[in-house]
Chain A
Amino acid sequence: MSEFDAASAAVQAALDAGARYADARVMHRRYESMSARNGDIEELAQDESVGLGVRALVGSSWGFHAVPDLSDAAARDAGRRAARTAAASARVPGPPIELVPGPAAVASWASPCTVDPLGVALSTKGDLLVEATKTIVDHGADHAEGLYQIWDTAKWFVSSEGHRIDQRIRECGGGISATSIGDGETQRRSYPSYRGQYGTTGWELVESLDLAAHAAEIADESRALLTAPLCPAGETDLILGGEQLALQIHESVGHAIELDRILGWEAAFAGTSWLDLAQLGSLRYGSDLMTITIDPTLPGALGSFGFDDEGSPAVKRDAVREGRWVGVLAGRDSASVAGLDYAGSVRADGWARLPMVRMTNVGLEPGPHTLEEIIAATDDGVLMDLNRSWSIDDKRLNFQFGCEVGWEIKKGRRGRLLRNPTYTGIGPHFWRSMDMLSAETVAWGTPNCGKGQPGQVGHTGHPAAPARFRNVRVGVRA
């Protein structure tokens, strides 16, 4: 029985059991991770998981059931259970849910991959981490960590509307970190970011990072931070490096424009959004430099795909155009409720989870400047980069971020290292204060975005470049 056959059997069983729409995904995922610590391999894990998840729409509710079995009997039973589960929701009914129309695609898609990451010898991958972490310790850090992760996912999607799509998405990435322990506190420096940079690409991404070449530098900086002056407290001009700005986009824009949050579907856990659909098209989100796109077509970025997990094709859209809020991340059901005519941002983190609205690649279009120009134009400020902590309220307004490293900026020059840099603000006020933006864009990958109940871990991409924000509160501490 083929994967498509199993998915079709599940869909048919759901329809036979009373669903007015059903879809099913078979997923086969291989995962490999290796971590090294202080010059030794710490953990090597390889997982392989296969299963089927079927989604049935009855009345106002989705029912979903998943099984790790692709036999015809198991698939049909899963379809029936999904419909029965949806029907039980009628005890607490809501308005009927409709789906915005979309083409019933029959297609195949694969992410670009030059070097199959699972095909690279384990010894080669291990040597890379061992060498880098050994160098970090040799340069005086107390702890060195190195990590790579690889996901190789094949999926087959069938719907009662006629979709029949198969995709193969290979993702990988890695990174290194140095931790130095001082009197009562720790300092960490990472490259290229904590737990690494990731993309929908082959092992060539990890090779391009050249981890070993950056090991000594982060070790030295982690030690230097222990004795660096504290980031001053107060309001100042803030320059953010691209990696930190990527997380700023993720938290204060990406999640805020998720339509399920805006509609209240995530209110109890992930939260809602400060955005009001009545202001879509008119709200001033940020300065004129702020243009944010939703772009799952970006080759190699971590949030890329050919079709989302309800069969909508990947399409690039604007979320914020020259500071004005114009678009959302949507699914077919939420778009229908909101009166919109597009979806395309629904994914599940595995065969056992219900697809939900997720970020794809949500990022800034490049600006006209360079980081050096931004520094040169700043008389008094702080440059911060690489995220260390992140916290934001349930409406995605009030945030506080901590970075691994800061530098004093005085009279257009980068000065002393600053330790424990933090900054805080309110999303739209912050984005409206952005007055310089670099063109040095990198599509940063975030492989650990949590959302949903049961919890799901999403993989998202965030093109970002260094930028300057005026009069930001920095140096918050206990």
Chain B
Amino acid sequence: MTELDLAGQVVELVRRLGGPGAQAEATVVRSDLALTRFANSFIHQNVGESGVSVRLRLHVDGRTAAGGGSLITQDGLRALVDRTLAAARLGPPDPAWPGLAPSAPTPSAPAFDEATAYADPDDRAERVRAFVAAAGGLTTAGYCRTAHRSAAFANSTGHSASGRTAEAAMDGIARTGGSDGVARRCADRIGDLDGAALGARAAAKARAAADPVELPPGRYEVVLEPAAVADVLENLAFYGFNGKRYAERQSFAEPGVAQFDPAVTLVDDPLRGSGLPFDAEGTPRAAVTLVQAGTTRGVVHDRRTATEVGATSTGHAAPGATTWGPIPHNLCLAAEPGADARASVDTPGAAGAPATAGDLSGAVADVDTAALLAGVRRGLLVSDLWYTRVLDPKTLVITGLTRNGVWLVEDGVVTRSVRDLRFTESYPRVLGPGAVLGVGRHAVRLPDRVDGVWWEAPPLRLASWNFTGGASG
């Protein structure tokens, strides 16, 4: 039975058991997820999961409930519908119910790669082997993962949609004993993951990060590599461009206001890679411009938050969004105008545009970053950010640490490795008008902790970053 058959069956069961007035939406997802994990330069955990999930949300007699599970037998589906109907009837009224999504054409899903969807453990292990070998004797750790999801949606209005996605990702570090270097990449095709290139890059970064010195905390100009920029995007997405937080006045976002530097353009673009073409309410997904040349254009919505603020859904409904709010999960920071960012993302090889200059140090692995560093009189090159947490959600003041390499830059040249630093900084402020001194020409797609979520960013040169503590406190 297909996912669409199952979703339709659930909706029909609701109609039969809940009466013609019951409104239902059902999503069924079959998945094959696998991850090959290595540490101390060997594969130590190698896992796979063949899963299925069915999710039902229904609205009956003015009340709403949701349920889900992994049981897709006739008895299992009947039990799901029975208990969700019972929950709805016992629950309190839901006056803010936004209604079901009307029928609408579903856009084409991104190109689907069978080799990625059905990759076997040997495919992943081979990339790990290449990563480890390319690290040249340094200790390595990380993962290679593949994911395949086939999903369908149906609701009581007769609207239905289906699609499938595949994604591959690799994320690894090389370690010298006192320093780490990282390389990570997310792709639509496992064939685009070059374990050797990633391993070589991580190793070069680790070697360049050896023997770090401690710098005093304070404000420094910085060049953030794409992995670090991804953390900025993730936090902006969750706390700022979240329609629920916006409706509750807990977001910094003010549409129509030039809150960012003119160099900043942010677009959430799920169909750019490995995204399903519809959301949990069946709304078609599409690119949404959130910031255009520094001016905030909007936030993302599901049907509930859209109704609350008089907008329309942007296709960002997800399970749990009632609590957490709709969140952009495929946020792209546009590369410098004129650059063909898309081409660089799809270029096989190391994370970041391939280096062509002959004098790049291990710390600076691509010409894009080198170009940004050239203008820095005194500042820091930051590879990655770690354990970032919000002190205040409205101003989006965040504390966290650098990780996987920091370097002092003097007169445009990396001069020495620096120990990790703690920072406490407002993310919107560091991207504010006049604060962005340069944006790289090539965006890199970086994986998140779960498949289907990714961030795309070029390196970024910022005027100031507030480091509030050194490695020793």
* Cβ-defined contact, B141 with A268, below 8 A: yes
Taken together as a complex, chains A and B put the C-alpha atoms of A33 and B371 apart, in Å, by: 51
Identify B45's interface contact among A64, A126, A185, CB under 8 A: A64
Residues 416 to 440 of chain A near chain B (Cβ within 8 Å): 420, 422, 424-426, 429
User: Please, what's the 1-or-0 string for B55-90, where 1 marks a CB less than 8 Å from any CB in chain A?
Assistant: 000000000111111110000000110011001101
Q: Which residues of B contact A82 (CB under 8 A)?
A: 48
A406 to chain B minimum Cβ distance, whole angstroms, is 13
* Cβ-defined contact, B469 with A66, below 8 A: no
Q: Which residues of B contact A92 (CB under 8 A)?
A: 38, 41-43, 125, 128-129, 132
- Interface residue B347 (Cβ < 8 Å from any Cβ of A): no
Chain A CB count within 10 A is highest, among B35, B47, B125, for B47
Identify A398's interface contact among B87, B95, B471, CB under 8 A: B471
Q: Which residues of B contact A40 (CB under 8 A)?
A: 92-96
Q: Which residues of A contact B65 (CB under 8 A)?
A: 44-46
User: Please, what's the 1-or-0 string for B393-413, where 1 marks a CB less than 8 Å from any CB in chain A?
Assistant: 111010111010000000000
Q: Which residues of A contact B52 (CB under 8 A)?
A: 68
* Cβ-defined contact, B46 with A61, below 8 A: yes
> Given A43-B66, A143-B248, are A89 and B36 also a contact pair (CB < 8 Å)?
yes
> Given A121-B90, A186-B392, A455-B450, are A61 and B43 also a contact pair (CB < 8 Å)?
yes
> Contacting chain B: which of A104-112, A284-292, A386-394?
A386-394
- Interface residue A442 (Cβ < 8 Å from any Cβ of B): no
Identify B393's interface contact among A51, A147, A186, A394, CB under 8 A: A186
* Cβ-defined contact, A44 with B473, below 8 A: no
Residues 30 to 66 of chain A near chain B (Cβ within 8 Å): 35, 40-51, 60-66
- Interface residue B468 (Cβ < 8 Å from any Cβ of A): yes
User: Please, what's the 1-or-0 string for A297-309, where 1 marks a CB less than 8 Å from any CB in chain B?
Assistant: 0000000000000
* Cβ-defined contact, B424 with A477, below 8 A: yes
Q: Which residues of B contact A62 (CB under 8 A)?
A: 44-47
> Given A50-B71, A89-B43, A398-B469, are A42 and B391 also a contact pair (CB < 8 Å)?
no
> Contacting chain A: which of B152-160, B169-177, B221-229?
B169-177
* Cβ-defined contact, A354 with B45, below 8 A: yes
- Determine the main DSSP class of B at the interface with A: strand
* Cβ-defined contact, A89 with B46, below 8 A: yes
- Interface residue B2 (Cβ < 8 Å from any Cβ of A): no
- Interface residue A361 (Cβ < 8 Å from any Cβ of B): no
Q: Which residues of A contact B175 (CB under 8 A)?
A: 267
- Interface residue B106 (Cβ < 8 Å from any Cβ of A): no
* Cβ-defined contact, B69 with A429, below 8 A: no
Chain A CB count within 10 A is highest, among B92, B132, B323, for B92
A209 to chain B minimum Cβ distance, whole angstroms, is 20
User: Please, what's the 1-or-0 string for A393-416, where 1 marks a CB less than 8 Å from any CB in chain B?
Assistant: 110001010100000000000000
Q: Which residues of B contact A352 (CB under 8 A)?
A: 49, 51
Identify A185's interface contact among B66, B87, B395, B399, CB under 8 A: B395
Residues 309 to 359 of chain B near chain A (Cβ within 8 Å): 319-320, 322-323
Identify B39's interface contact among A49, A181, A267, A455, CB under 8 A: A267
- Interface residue B289 (Cβ < 8 Å from any Cβ of A): no
Taken together as a complex, chains A and B put the C-alpha atoms of A142 and B245 apart, in Å, by: 12
* Cβ-defined contact, A67 with B128, below 8 A: no
Specify the chain A residue showing the minimal Cβ separation from B124: A88
A145 to chain B minimum Cβ distance, whole angstroms, is 9
Identify B126's interface contact among A91, A400, A420, A478, CB under 8 A: A91
Please report the total number of A residues contacting B with Cβ < 8 Å. Answer: 83
Identify A453's interface contact among B143, B400, B425, B429, CB under 8 A: B143
* Cβ-defined contact, A179 with B37, below 8 A: no
> Given A92-B128, A265-B44, are A400 and B39 also a contact pair (CB < 8 Å)?
no
- Interface residue A281 (Cβ < 8 Å from any Cβ of B): no
Taken together as a complex, chains A and B put the C-alpha atoms of A392 and B469 apart, in Å, by: 12
Q: Which residues of B contact A42 (CB under 8 A)?
A: 322-323
Taken together as a complex, chains A and B put the C-alpha atoms of A225 and B104 apart, in Å, by: 47
Identify A85's interface contact among B47, B84, B129, B472, CB under 8 A: B47
- Interface residue A234 (Cβ < 8 Å from any Cβ of B): no
- Interface residue A81 (Cβ < 8 Å from any Cβ of B): yes
Q: Which residues of A contact B172 (CB under 8 A)?
A: 268
B437 to chain A minimum Cβ distance, whole angstroms, is 20
- Interface residue B390 (Cβ < 8 Å from any Cβ of A): yes
Taken together as a complex, chains A and B put the C-alpha atoms of A39 and B122 apart, in Å, by: 54
> Contacting chain A: which of B20-28, B292-300, B360-368, B381-389?
B381-389
- Interface residue B103 (Cβ < 8 Å from any Cβ of A): no
Q: Which residues of B contact A114 (CB under 8 A)?
A: none
Identify B473's interface contact among A121, A147, A426, CB under 8 A: A426
- Interface residue A368 (Cβ < 8 Å from any Cβ of B): no
* Cβ-defined contact, A46 with B450, below 8 A: no
- Interface residue B377 (Cβ < 8 Å from any Cβ of A): no
Identify B250's interface contact among A64, A181, A356, A477, CB under 8 A: A181
User: Please, what's the 1-or-0 string for B438-473, where 1 marks a CB less than 8 Å from any CB in chain A?
Assistant: 000000000001100000000000000010110111
Q: Which residues of A contact B319 (CB under 8 A)?
A: 45
- Interface residue A277 (Cβ < 8 Å from any Cβ of B): no
- Interface residue A369 (Cβ < 8 Å from any Cβ of B): no
B405 to chain A minimum Cβ distance, whole angstroms, is 13
Taken together as a complex, chains A and B put the C-alpha atoms of A117 and B49 apart, in Å, by: 30
Q: Which residues of B contact A11 (CB under 8 A)?
A: none
B311 to chain A minimum Cβ distance, whole angstroms, is 19
- Interface residue A264 (Cβ < 8 Å from any Cβ of B): yes
Identify B399's interface contact among A49, A61, A81, A391, CB under 8 A: A391
> Given A391-B388, A398-B473, A402-B399, are A264 and B39 also a contact pair (CB < 8 Å)?
yes
Residues 430 to 478 of chain A near chain B (Cβ within 8 Å): 453-455, 473, 476-478
Q: Which residues of B contact A86 (CB under 8 A)?
A: 46
A178 to chain B minimum Cβ distance, whole angstroms, is 13
* Cβ-defined contact, A454 with B393, below 8 A: no
Q: Which residues of A contact B50 (CB under 8 A)?
A: 65-68
B460 to chain A minimum Cβ distance, whole angstroms, is 19
Taken together as a complex, chains A and B put the C-alpha atoms of A95 and B87 apart, in Å, by: 52
* Cβ-defined contact, A64 with B399, below 8 A: no
* Cβ-defined contact, B323 with A393, below 8 A: no
A137 to chain B minimum Cβ distance, whole angstroms, is 13
- Interface residue B105 (Cβ < 8 Å from any Cβ of A): no
* Cβ-defined contact, B395 with A429, below 8 A: no
* Cβ-defined contact, B424 with A61, below 8 A: no
Q: Which residues of A contact B67 (CB under 8 A)?
A: 45-48
Identify A50's interface contact among B44, B46, B70, CB under 8 A: B70
- Interface residue B117 (Cβ < 8 Å from any Cβ of A): no
A471 to chain B minimum Cβ distance, whole angstroms, is 11
Chain B CB count within 10 A is highest, among A88, A186, A353, for A88
* Cβ-defined contact, B33 with A85, below 8 A: no
B416 to chain A minimum Cβ distance, whole angstroms, is 20
> Given A81-B48, A264-B141, A453-B37, are A46 and B128 also a contact pair (CB < 8 Å)?
no
Specify the chain B residue showing the minimal Cβ separation from A354: B47
Chain B CB count within 10 A is highest, among A35, A40, A130, A389, for A389
Specify the chain A residue showing the minimal Cβ separation from B322: A43
27 contacts between A and B (CB under 8 A): A44-B65, A45-B319, A48-B68, A48-B83, A49-B70, A50-B69, A60-B43, A61-B42, A88-B36, A88-B46, A88-B121, A88-B124, A91-B125, A143-B250, A185-B392, A186-B392, A186-B394, A389-B389, A393-B387, A394-B386, A394-B387, A400-B422, A402-B389, A420-B392, A477-B424, A478-B395, A478-B429
The interface of chain B, by Cβ under 8 A from chain A, is 33-52, 64-71, 79-80, 83-84, 87-88, 90-96, 120-122, 124-126, 128-129, 132, 139, 141-143, 145, 171-173, 175, 180, 248-250, 319-320, 322-323, 386-395, 397, 399-401, 403, 420, 422, 424-426, 429, 449-450, 466, 468-469, 471-473
Given contacts A43-B322, A92-B42, 20 further A-B pairs with CB under 8 A are A43-B66, A50-B69, A62-B44, A66-B47, A68-B50, A91-B125, A92-B38, A92-B132, A93-B43, A94-B43, A123-B91, A265-B39, A269-B171, A388-B391, A389-B391, A391-B388, A391-B400, A400-B469, A424-B469, A477-B391
Chain A to chain B: the 5 pairs with minimum beta-carbon distance, closest first? A94-B42, A88-B121, A89-B43, A268-B141, A68-B70
